[in-house]
Amino acid sequence: MQWETWVIETLRRALAYGSPLLLGTMGEIYSERSGILNLGVEGMMILGAFVGFFTAFVTGNPWLGFLMGALVGGAASLIHAFLSVTLRVIQVVSGLALTLFGLGLTGVLGRGWEGKPLRVSLPVFYIPYLKDIPILGPIVFVEQNVFVYIGIGLALILWYLLFKTSWGITIRSVGEDPATADALGINVSLVRYLCVVIGGLLAGMGGAYLSIIYRPSWTQGMTSGMGWIVIALTIFSFWHPIGALGGSYIFGSLFYLSFRLQPWVAPELLTIMPYLFTILAPLLLNLHKKMRRRMGAPAALGIPYSREGE
């Protein structure tokens, strides 16, 4: 019995810990599905974390914090979009620059705000009836903050959008074969810009979650590499929002476990788990050729597109 409650508690916490990862991953999925690799997630998340914290602190309104966090992430991503889509630079470098810039800028701006506790709260739910469903109930419907539900809801909406609507077909085709999409009259640049910005908005939102809900305060570098895990999760989830749900919560439970198992295992070694997973996931995927083709990366990912003759 004690084992069972332990598992349930882990999973319950996993939802909370995994939500910022979920938001970031869904955003990067959209960006990469359109063919643009954005390594700036870490930078966008930390920008969202600081701006979100700052806004919530100053206005006392956490929702505004989330909004501003998202917007700043979107604005930052525009830089990457411009460089990658219009100027067609090497996307790896542009994303790295964005991360460095974001980390640096928040380190500068955030000076003096460190350690100040944020006293705002978001509704936490104990949903009647649903919470009594065996196993699932205590995990999903007890003591979860609203953003967990927003995250799940977004995952479902974004999944539907990507796979069941005409916009989704367009986005995915642009990422697989921009030349063919272009020949059929689709504005490849516009689609890519939009997807990168969606990525930025969601990354910013994920970052804001960290500083408003997760640890209501601001610390320099508080994302501690979460942005990089998002990059890996994008692969791990097979570029699929529902996969992102599963993956984020797995990693969320890894995060939680790295706290919980501290009495028995050195915390630093536990912290390694997510990063190790991140390497193993594409490794396992690549072992099977057909899996790779079917569920692998968008074929044009990372390759700047220009019409022949330009």
What is the binding site for other proteins (CB under 8 A)? 39, 43, 79, 83, 87-90, 92-94, 96-108, 110-111, 164-167, 169-170, 172-173, 176-177, 179-181, 183-186, 220, 225, 228, 231-232, 235, 266, 268-269, 271-272, 275-276, 278-279, 282-283, 286-287, 293-294, 299, 307, 309-310
By the 8 A CB rule, do 274 and 257 touch?
no
Question: DSSP characters for 203-256?
Answer: HHHHHHHIIIIISSS--TTTTTTHHHHHHHHHHHTTT-HHHHHHHHHHHHHHHH
By the 8 A CB rule, do 39 and 210 touch?
no
Q: How many helices (H) and strands (E) does the chain have?
A: 13, 2
DSSP state of 261: T
Q: Minimum Å distance from CB 86 to other proteins? A: 9
Question: Which residues neighbour 220 within 8 Å (Cβ) at sequence distance 6 or greater?
Answer: 106, 107, 110, 111, 114
111 vs 119, beta carbon nearer other proteins: 111
Q: Minimum Å distance from CB 258 to other proteins? A: 10
Element (H, E) at 68: helix 62-81
186 vs 194, beta carbon nearer other proteins: 186
Nearest to 16 by CA among 205, 146, 200: 146
5 vs 262, beta carbon nearer other proteins: 262
103 vs 148, beta carbon nearer other proteins: 103
Q: Minimum Å distance from CB 93 to other proteins? A: 6
Q: Minimum Å distance from CB 102 to other proteins? A: 7
Q: Minimum Å distance from CB 104 to other proteins? A: 3
123 vs 307, beta carbon nearer other proteins: 307
